[in-house]
C-alpha cells in the first residue's frame, strides 16, 4: 500500500482509507457486527491505515464498532472521528448543531472511550456551526491537542473563508468533503485553498454513494432506512439522467481492464498527491476491488479524455435535501 501525507503536520496514512459509516448507519440496515469487524480488520491486513467514523453514526454505535475492530492494531492505524452535533433522541444524524468548546471537549472524552484509544488521530468539526465562531472551535481543538487527547484538527464541508480563519488559530490537517467525477464543485475554490495552505483533502462518497460503481440504475430500490431515498440526485429520473457518468467510467474501465469503481478512485488519486479518498463498503469483495485502484495508473491522455467527456455531462439533482444542503459550504 502506498502512503500519502495529509497536511504539513506529518499525518501520513494509506492512499485509500475506509469510510465506516455505512456499516452502522445511513445506507440501509446496520451490518452484522462480527462481519463488519472482519471487513475492518481485513482492510488493516491489506495495508489500510486510515479509518473514518463519527459519534453521530448510529449514534455512537459506529465508533464502538471501529474501536473494537481496531483494538488489536492500536498505534498502527489512524482513526478520524467528528464532533459538531447533539445526536437526537430518535438517533437521527441531522440533529442540532453544537460546536461549543465545552461540548467539543465532552465529545472528545466520550469518543476516546468508545474508540478504546488514548488519543484521537484526526478530530473533524462535522459541520460548521454558525452560532460558534470558528476561531473558538479551533481553539478548543488546540486545547485538546495540548492536552494530548487529539493529534490533528480537521474540518468537514467547510467553505474556503472558514478554512482560512480556522487555520490561523490551529493548523488544519485535512478537509473532508464530497468529491468525485460527478461532484466536482471543490475544484472551483476549495482545492486551490487547500493547496495554498498545505491542507490535505479527504473525499467522502468518492463512489457517489455507490452510484459510480455501475451497480445502481433507475430501477434500483433502497431499503426504507437508506439515506439515498431522500437525496434528490437519487430519484429514478435523476439516476437515469446521470447514467452518462457511469457510462464514461465503464468505457475507461474497458480500456484499462479495470472496474468503474477502480477508475473512479484512480481518477481521484490522480488529481493531487495529498488527496486520500475514503470509500465505504460492508463487503470484503468490494474492499479488495477498491484497494486495487491504488495501483491503477491513468495516463495523462486517459485523464484528459475523462475531463473532456465529463465536462459535457449535466448532472441532475442536488446531493443533499434542501435542509441538509444549508449545512455545507459555510
CA 185 – CA 279 distance, rounded (Å): 19
Residue 113: partners with Cβ closer than 8 Å, 6 or more residues away: none
* Signed CA dihedral, 217, 223, 226, 232: sign only: positive
For the purposes of burial, counting CB atoms within 10 Å of the CB of 33, is it exposed (0-12), middle (13-18) or buried (19 or more)? middle
**5 strand-pairing partners:** 12
Contacts within 8 Å (CB) and 24+ apart, 226-233: 226/26, 226/27, 226/28, 227/26, 227/27, 228/27, 230/321, 231/317, 231/318, 231/319, 231/320, 231/321, 232/317, 232/318, 232/319, 232/320, 232/321, 233/315, 233/316, 233/317, 233/318, 233/319
Record the cell numbers describing residue 19, joined without a space. 469510510
Give the Cα separation of 17 and 221 in Å (integer): 28
Residue pair 127/84 in contact by the 8 Å Cβ criterion: yes
Angstrom distances, CA of residue 30 to CA of 25, 50, 223, 225, 266: 6, 21, 11, 10, 28
3 state DSSP class of 103 = helix
Which residues does the annotation mark as catalytic? 57
Q: Whole-angstrom Cα distance, residue 59 to residue 63? A: 9
Element (H, E) at 173: strand 172-178
The Cα angle at residue 250 between residues 245 and 255, in degrees rounded to 5: 130
Amino acid at each position: 500500500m502506498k502512503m500519502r501525507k495529509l497536511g504539513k503536520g506529518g499525518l501520513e496514512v494509506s492512499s485509500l482509507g475506509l469510510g465506516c459509516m455505512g456499516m452502522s448507519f445511513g445506507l440501509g440496515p446496520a451490518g452484522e457486527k462480527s462481519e463488519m469487524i472482519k471487513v475492518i480488520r481485513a482492510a488493516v491486513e491489506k495495508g489500510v491505515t486510515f479509518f473514518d467514523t463519527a459519534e453521530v453514526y448510529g449514534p455512537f454505535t459506529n465508533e464502538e464498532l471501529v474501536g473494537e475492530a481496531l483494538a488489536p492494531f492500536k498505534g498502527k492505524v489512524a482513526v478520524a472521528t467528528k464532533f459538531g452535533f447533539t445526536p437526537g433522541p430518535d438517533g437521527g444524524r441531522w440533529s442540532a448543531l453544537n460546536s461549543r468548546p465545552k461540548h467539543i471537549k465532552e465529545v472528545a472524552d466520550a469518543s476516546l472511550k468508545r474508540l478504546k484509544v488514548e488519543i484521537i488521530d484526526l478530530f473533524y468539526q462535522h459541520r460548521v456551526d454558525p452560532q460558534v465562531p470558528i476561531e473558538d472551535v479551533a481553539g478548543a481543538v488546540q486545547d485538546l491537542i495540548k492536552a494530548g487527547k487529539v493529534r490533528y484538527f480537521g474540518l468537514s464541508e467547510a467553505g474556503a473563508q472558514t478554512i482560512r480563519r480556522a487555520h490561523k488559530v490551529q493548523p488544519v490537517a485535512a478537509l473532508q468533503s464530497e468529491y468525485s467525477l460527478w461532484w466536482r464543485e471543490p475544484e472551483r475554490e476549495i482545492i486551490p485553498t487547500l493547496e495554498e495552505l498545505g491542507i490535505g483533502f479527504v473525499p467522502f462518497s468518492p463512489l457517489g454513494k455507490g452510484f459510480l460503481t455501475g451497480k445502481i440504475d433507475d430501477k434500483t430500490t433502497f431499503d426504507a432506512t437508506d439515506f439515498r431515498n431522500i437525496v434528490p440526485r437519487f430519484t429514478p429520473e435523476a439516476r437515469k439522467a446521470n447514467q452518462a457518468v457511469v457510462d464514461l467510467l465503464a468505457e475507461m474501465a474497458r480500456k484499462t481492464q479495470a472496474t468503474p469503481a477502480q477508475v473512479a478512485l484512480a481518477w481521484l488519486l490522480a488529481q493531487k498527491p495529498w488527496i486520500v479518498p475514503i470509500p465505504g463498503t460492508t463487503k470484503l469483495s468490494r474492499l479488495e476491488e477498491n484497494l486495487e485502484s491504488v495501483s491503477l495508473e491513468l495516463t495523462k491522455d486517459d485523464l484528459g479524455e475523462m475531463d473532456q467527456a465529463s465536462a459535457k455531462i449535466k448532472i441532475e439533482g442536488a446531493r443533499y435535501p434542501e435542509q441538509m444542503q444549508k449545512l455545507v459550504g459555510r
